[in-house]
Amino acid sequence: MIDIQDITKSFGQLQVLKGISLHIKRGEIVSIVGPSGAGKTTLLQIIGTLDRPDSGRVTIDGTDVQSLSTDRLSVFRNLHVGFVFQFHQLLPEFTAIENIMIPAYIAGKSTAAAKARASELLEFMGLADRAQHKPGQLSGGEKQRVAVARALVNEPSVILADEPSGSLDTKNKAELHQLFFDLRDKYGMTFIIVTHDESLASITDRTIRLKDGLIVGEEIINRHDSGETDTSDTPAATTNDDTQES
């Protein structure tokens, strides 16, 4: 579903990614962990087409995203990739349902279609009664669930989440983590999650550990069967000392 081949990225003289290769199956929930400066967010941005690698290739659903023009890449991103950030990034002047509908409008969908999809997602999130509330009237957990719904509105191929529960308290954090699995079960969503939260990493299907721009370990926690043929060279789960870096 997602193939990442020999990705490198430098900023000036600093090489942040040093040849990353990874295969993500459809419906898989994968966490990426590692110390600050390991290259986690840079890798996520490249997978999400927000940045381009210096070399290597990212393929999403059979599309080589490096081959797309800037305009086509923007369209592809809006339709195929959803983003969830540590802070919700909701627009304060719009209601919850309006925030969710915005990516659908950008994709050219009608108001009726956008509203129907946003309403469905709010219902699933348990937020149907908060649809007309603006972000300032929502709790932290509610705002983050609205942000997840916004990421889902165009039915993307993958959701990329960068420290999605980093600003939440323990209760809301646990609820958000469970929501990812509920969404996978209902919609077959694929998630790639960058996190420092080992409790989240420990319940994902697979944890990838980065250090100094390299994959230094991988732990398969729950083997998810997507039904797709796995042609990757993904190594077996490891438990050596390198995999314990956090």
Angstrom distance (rounded) from CA 76 to CA 97: 23
Residue 37 burial (CB < 10 Å; 0-12/13-18/19+)?
middle
Q: 58 CB contacts (<8 Å, ≥6 apart)?
A: 2, 3, 4, 5, 7, 46, 47, 49, 64, 65, 66
pLDDT of residue 176: 83
Residue that wins the pLDDT comparison between 163 and 168: 163
171-209, pLDDT tens digit by residue? 888 888 888 888 888 888 899 999 988 888 988 999 999
Give the angle subtended at the CA of 87 by the CAs of 86 and 89, to the nearest 5°.
Answer: 130
Q: What is the pTM of this model?
A: 0.83
The predicted-structure confidence for 70-91, as pLDDT tens digits, reads as follows 999 999 998 899 998 877 789 9
| Residue 55 burial by Cβ neighbours in a 10 Å radius (0-12, 13-18, 19+) | middle
C-beta atoms surrounding 162 within 10 Å: 20
Please name the residues in contact with 31: beta carbons below 8 A apart, sequence gap of 6 or more.
193, 194, 195, 200, 201, 204, 206, 207, 208
Angle between helices 96-106 and 140-152 (to 10 degrees): 20
Residue 6 has pLDDT above 50, yes or no: yes
To the nearest 10°, the Cα dihedral for 19, 208, 38, 246?
Answer: -150
Render pLDDT for 27-61 as a digit per residue (tens, 0 to 9): 999 999 999 889 999 999 999 999 999 999 999 99
